[in-house]
Structures are given as C-alpha cells and as structure tokens.
Structure 1
C-alpha cells in the first residue's frame, strides 16, 4: 500500500467488461433521448452544424472551448442521432473508470481498484454526468495523463524521462481544449514531474529543457486553435468568447453558494470513504492523489458558479482516494453496497418513461414546425436548439444556446448585442417562433422576451403547445407560426 507506481500484472482484463456493463446499465434509460440536457444537445447541434460549414464562435456562439465542439463533430461522423454521442460518452465513462481502477490497484488490490471505478460511474449521474457533459469526455484524457505520470515516477527519480511524460503533458493539453479549468490539474502533473526530476541526478540544463518541452506540449493544442482563429481574421470573436465574456459575466453569490453546498452534500459519501482511507493509506501514492484532489478543487473554485457538472473532474481523484478503504475484507464491500444504494435512490437510471416522453415531445414539436413551414426562418428563443437540426433550418443568429437570449446574466456577453441581434432576426420576418409559455431563466432577459412577444402578437398564431421535458426540468413550448400574415380574427390556435 505504500508503493509508488508498482505495476500489477494480475489486474484482470475482464474488469473492463464489468465496468462497461455497469456503465451501460446506469445509462441505458437515457439512450436515444433527444433532449437529455440543454448543454449536450447544444454541443451536438454545433457538432452537426460544423459538418455543414459552421464555425464555432463565428456562426454559432458560446464560451465553451473548441475541443468540446470538435469532439461532437467527430461523433457526428458516426450518426447525427443522439444515441451516437450517448454511446460514445458511455464508452468514455467506462474507460475512465477502468483507468481509475488500474491506478488505484497500484497501492491497493485489483478488487479495491474495481470498486473505485464503480464509484466513479455511480456518481456521474448524481453530478449531472448522465450523458455527454464535457468532463465525461475529457476526464479520460486527464486520468490517462495521471496514470502515465504515476507510472513514470521511478524513472524520473533516477534522472530519466520516459516517453510517457511528454505524452501525459499532451493529453493534459487536449483536456484544456475541452475546459480551461483543466489547466490546474495539468500544472500539477507538470510540476510533480519537474520536482521528481529536480531531485534526481540529472543536470539542471537538461532539466530546464525537459520542463520547457512539457510546457510547450501542454500549451500546443490550445495555441494551435487560437492561431487558426487569428490567421482567419476571427481573433476578436474568439477572444471575446474565450476570455472577455467570462470576465464580464455577473455572478450571484447566493445562488452560487447554494449550488456549492448542494454539490458537496452530494459528494459527502465519497469524501467520507476517502477520508477513512487515510487511516491505513501511507506513502507517496497518498501524496500524489492528495495533491491531485487539491488541483482539481482549485479548478472547481476558479469558476465559482458551482453548477453541479463542474465538479465532475474532482470525482476522478476522489474515486481514487476510496480504494484504500475498499481493500478491507468486510467493510470494503459493505461500503460499496452502501454507496450504490445511496446513489441509486435519487438516480435517473432506469427511468425509461422519461425518455419516451422526451422523444414524443421533440417529435411533436418538429412535426408542428414542419406542418407550418412556408420557407421562412425558424427562430427558437429559450427553447431546444436541436430543433434547427431536426427541421432542417439554418441558424438565424449565432446566439443559439437558450441562455444567450433568455438569461439576463448573458446579456451582451458575446460580440453581439443581445437585443440588437433579436431585433435583427425579427426584422427578417421569421415564419415560425418557438419559445416557452413563461421564462425559463432566472433572472430572465425581458428585453428580448418582450420584443419577441410583440412580434408574435402582431404577426403569428399559436399552432402547438407541448410540454417538453429534459432530465432535470420541464417547460411548455409554444409554436407560433404563419408569421408572415396577421392571424385570422378569432383564431387562437390550439
């Protein structure tokens, strides 16, 4: 239990199948859901649009890094159906759990490592990682980097730099292109390797050269993306999306504090088991994972909005921490059973009825839009962005993500005026407008909502009103159509 980087050749290969089966079982009820969560359906919408020439930030705007959209672009080669990204996300989740198990078995037993991987899969759902949130994908790159660093320790201490170290830095750099907060974990891996090499017999010159090379590899993916936008004349748009918009976004202390409290309450069972592990877990492995937890925590608090899925990167090192306790003969399995029951009691797993309702709602919305499509633009305001893809309509504005028009805290954060862009689109006389019957965001951007309502009142009629759930919320979406002619007297739609 005190060893560092002890490779255990008897780690059963079939554990990978166990973790994949568990991942599928926990997520199967969500497969095919076209409106699972507003974030990931937006990412999928952008990925599909990229196949038709759309440029992220230019043609469709958001603050998320390019790597996430590119991931969904690659998945769209398989299929534009939501099942494609959901299956790929399941494989990524199971693979991440397997690497967690593999690392944890270095200081515990293979069975305890397996249990740690299972905990990761169980708590993904609790932290809104039930589908294709960004960390579900980039956690795999980060945990692979951690594994490579962990395995390289003895070589670094001897003054040698194995190829696994620069590979780890490149993987960490790829993770940063999914979420900038991965920078903190990336820095930890780099500093940890540098410290081991500094204490080795290696001369200071080669040490500096290696560290500089690691930094260059870690920064290369993000710098390459930035250079592309600069060379193509989109730098001001990219800079606004990646940096200025985050600096100017207002925060709400009470809401942020409540979300942080709920997040740590949900994590409390894992934190408890991880803390109990400290009683019997000693040596370099504990220090390594302990510093990893701290780095992930710094990443979480660096963007103190504390949306639940922001804590998913922290789940990786926390799951690793549980392994030392799980190797106990009786209390280890008992703890896993308790954690499983605790997780499943509020899990979305096995809720097949919700997926059926979601499929039907999106089908009905798309059918209503097609039935009244006279060739004009579709304008979705604070509604499901995938309706553009489902009905074959272009984006009338780069502000496609629902919050960018409907949420007051998103007002004018892009390179576009929110109200100005709304008025520009309404000036195009869109033929169909989809928006909820009441604002979904708190606080709502009433300037936008009032402008759209005025257009609807003057030009459109309601042709459908459909309750549209996602896995966390539900809203009644109204379809307003025939907007190029005044509504007939006494027509109220249905």
Structure 2
C-alpha cells in the first residue's frame, strides 16, 4: 500500500521489459507514417527549418515563425543525422515510447505494474486521434515535462525534511528546456517549480534559507530561455526575436465560433480518457491526488492559453490524464477491459494501418519535385500555397523568411511578423520567380485576398501550368499546382491558361 506521503519509491520492477512493450506499441501505432514526406504541415516545416539551419539559416531572421528556438534546434540535430523524413519520425517514436515509460514510472508511485504499463499504453494510443502520430512539438517536449514531474515527485519526501536533492535542480532545468520547445509548456513548468517551492517552504526543518533555493530553481528553469534570448540580443536580432516569441502571439486574431467548435470536438475525443481518470482519482493517496489535480489544471491552462483548440493542442494534456488513469487501469481485469474500450474509441476510423497512404505521398512529392527541377530556368522557387518542404526537397533557397505558407496566405497571420506580408509577396514577385507553387483555390481560412489575388494574377499572366498533383497529408487530400516557365516570354498567339 502507498505510504502517507503519496510519493513512495516503486517496489516492483519497471525496467527493460515494460519499455520494450511500450516501444513496440509505439512502432506499431506509428509505422504507417514512416517515410511519409507530408505527414503534417507543422512538422514538415520544422524539418525544413532544421535542414536550412545546416546551410546557415537563422530562425526568425532568415525563416520566421513563432515557435521557440529549441524546437528548431532539435530538428537541426535530427536532420544532421539524416534529412529523410523517417529520421525525425523514428526519433519522435523513441520520444513517444520514452514518455510513455516515464508516465509508467510516475504512476508506479501509487499503483501497480499493470496500471503503470497500461497508463503508458493509453498515452501512445491517444496520440493518434490528436495528431501526435508524427513529430508535433508536444511529442518531444512532453518527455521533458514528464521527467521533471517524476523528479519533483521523487524529491518531495526529501524536500519535506528541509533538504534539497540535486534531482530538484535537474527537474527545473528539464522544465526550462521544455519551454524552449513550446512556450505554453511554461504553465506546467511553473507548476513543477511552485510544487517544489511550496513543499520546501512548508518544511519546518529547512537547513538553509528556502528563499535562496527557490530563487536558484527559478533561475535554473529560466536559464535555457535566457541564454537563447541573450544570443539573439548580442547578435543584434533582439527585435525580431521578441516579435517572434511575444508580440506576434498577441497579434494573431482568434475566430471564436470556430474555436468553440474545435473545443467541443477536442473535449468529445478526450471524454473516454477523462472518464477513466475521474474514476481513478478516488483510488489515489490524498497527497498524490492533490498533486494530480494541480498538474491537470496547469496542463489545461496551457491548452487554453492558445484558444484556437486545434486537435494537437491537447497533446500535453494526455500526459497527466494518462498518469491519472493508472490507478483504475491497475484493476486486475477491469483495467485491461477499460484500455481496450477507450482504445477502440480512440482509434476507430484512424489510419493506423493505412500503409498505402505513405506510398501515395512519396509518389506525389517525387512528381512535384521532378516537375520543379524539369522547368527550373534559374529563377527562384516560390511556394505560395503548398508544401514548404519542396524548398529543401529540390535544394532551392527561401525567397522570403515567410516560408510557412500560412504566414503568406492566411488572413489571421497578416503582418504578425516584423515583415509586411503584402510587401514580402510583392518583393518575391519582383524577383521574377521561375516556378510558383499554389493550390487551385486558396487553402487558408480565411484567405488573405490581398496576397492571393496578386500571386494568382502573376502566374496566370506569366507562367504555364505544368503539373497538377494530388498530395495527401494525414488530414486532407490537397491538390497542388506547379506554375513554371514564368521567366520565358509567351509564344506569339499563345492563349493564357
């Protein structure tokens, strides 16, 4: 039985065999995505930036986005091993499996081995309906938060004695690293720091000034972000960095009716796991239950802090929910039955076994890349409304820092960076691109008609439609047009497309 502290050390083995089971499950659930060059727009962008960094590109300066630098650095490291999509997909699989293992280690502080393993499996299963089957940023930073939580919980009994174990400092550092991968991890990171601080400050036996320790923890957690910020400031790029990290987040507008609909869908998909977590909470020791409720609150605040409620925004919430479910999943036969039921609900209608999808995607991108290379006449490639990874797949330079196509064609992203969106589009068109990539109709919603209209007018006047390819990702079937020969004078009597 758990001790009253609610933070006992595991008394059963949870080593290589459980990890092997979780790693195998992660491979099975994600194998159909391996090698797909177009799993999702976000992660292919991160990979594109990671590759570009090997050629000297500086995030925010040469390629703009609001994601933290640590995420791009992680993809920089991965693409240093291989630029093939399967490289980041395998690394993401390893991160997912390791996160599931850490979830089990946390759960083992108050439940049995079955509950711990099934909690890890629950996390892996629920990644799929929330678009965590590839390399979305939470797939990576969830591991750092889970490790920070595990270390904080293990440090709790020692902190209650007024002592400060080294593991508490490591917890703060890991939480700080998570913030450099996704800014919204701040709320869970702050929770880890506040929990340890409250335990230490509440100890009557502290042997050193607790306020000093809390200050050291705060500095340790902030250190990764402060170091990156200092590098940009010393390089003279503070303004663009501040814009990317802070002001651009407030400049982006929110469509509240759409957000409300997405939130309802998100909640409905979370409902089976929420039910199991609620059933499990009464079985937890009091202090552990209090910790779990506070962690769930911090994770929810992180989700709600960006109220667009796209499905992958719920990925950080899966970690505490899976941990919270462990006590119920640890019941002898009810636990496996519950996991089977919620897994069926989570995976019903998914593409877990659709191995043909990746083959179609690879063929589509081979066709697109070939069309671009065949008609290259020396001018820039301009991906206005299409897959941004075509830049690196064809070995062409970015004509603008606004590489992520939503920054060019989505009205919500208009002028959120330090650059004028319309001004950048006009500047690129003045460079006389040789090839323009666009969809037959605007894909962004709502579209930025200022930029969309002038680009379409340009390629209809100067270019020829040389390819139309169906390029599927894991959410949509997209049609991509290749407009080329833009620098050649039209043949006498030629009819416009």
1:450 aligns with 2:453: yes
CA–CA distance in structure 1, aligned partners of residues 421 and 74 of structure 2: 28
Report the counterpart of residue 467 of structure 2 in structure 1: 464
More off after superposition, 28-37 vs 455-464: 455-464
Equivalent position SS for 1:322: helix
The Cα of 1:311 is off from its aligned counterpart by: 1.1
Q: How does 1:351-390 map to 2 (within 5 A)?
A: 351-390=354-393
CA–CA distance in structure 2, aligned partners of residues 362 and 206 of structure 1: 60
User: Quick one: which of 211, 214, 235 aligns to 1:208?
Assistant: 211
Report the counterpart of residue 345 of structure 1 in structure 2: 348
Report the counterpart of residue 232 of structure 2 in structure 1: 229
Contact 2:163 2:206 in 1 (8 A): no
Q: Deviations over 1:408-446 (max 9, x none)?
A: 110111111001100000000000001001110110011
Q: Deviations over 1:384-415 (max 9, x none)?
A: 01100011100000000010011011011111
CA–CA distance in structure 2, aligned partners of residues 141 and 259 of structure 1: 27
Report the counterpart of residue 177 of structure 2 in structure 1: 174
Contact 2:281 2:325 in 1 (8 A): no
1:12 aligns with 2:11: no
Q: How does 1:59-458 map to 2 (within 5 A)?
A: 59-203=62-206, 206-458=209-461
Contact 1:463 1:480 in 2 (8 A): yes
Report the counterpart of residue 50 of structure 2 in structure 1: 47
Gaps of 5+ in 1: none
Q: Deviations over 1:339-390 (max 9, x none)?
A: 2222221222111111111111111000000010111100001210110001
Gaps of 5+ in 2: none
User: Quick one: which of 479, 487, 494 aligns to 2:482?
Assistant: 479
CA–CA distance in structure 1, aligned partners of residues 11 and 52 of structure 2: 45
**Number of equivalences:** 493
Contact 2:110 2:285 in 1 (8 A): no
Contact 1:460 1:486 in 2 (8 A): no
Contact 1:382 1:401 in 2 (8 A): no
The Cα of 1:476 is off from its aligned counterpart by: 1.0
The alignment's C-alpha RMSD in Å is: 1.2
More off after superposition, 301-310 vs 365-374: 301-310
CA–CA distance in structure 2, aligned partners of residues 142 and 282 of structure 1: 22
Q: Which runs of 4+ in 1 moved over 6 A?
A: none
The Cα of 1:120 is off from its aligned counterpart by: 0.1
The Cα of 1:9 is off from its aligned counterpart by: 4.2
Q: Deviations over 1:51-75 (max 9, x none)?
A: 0000000000001111100000000
Report the counterpart of residue 28 of structure 1 in structure 2: 31
CA–CA distance in structure 2, aligned partners of residues 382 and 235 of structure 1: 29
Name the TM-score, length of structure 1 as normaliser.
0.98
Equivalent position SS for 1:278: helix
Equivalent position SS for 1:88: helix
Q: Deviations over 1:226-270 (max 9, x none)?
A: 111111011111111111111111111101111111111110000
CA–CA distance in structure 1, aligned partners of residues 479 and 339 of structure 2: 40
Contact 2:163 2:207 in 1 (8 A): no
The Cα of 1:492 is off from its aligned counterpart by: 6.9
Contact 2:126 2:343 in 1 (8 A): no
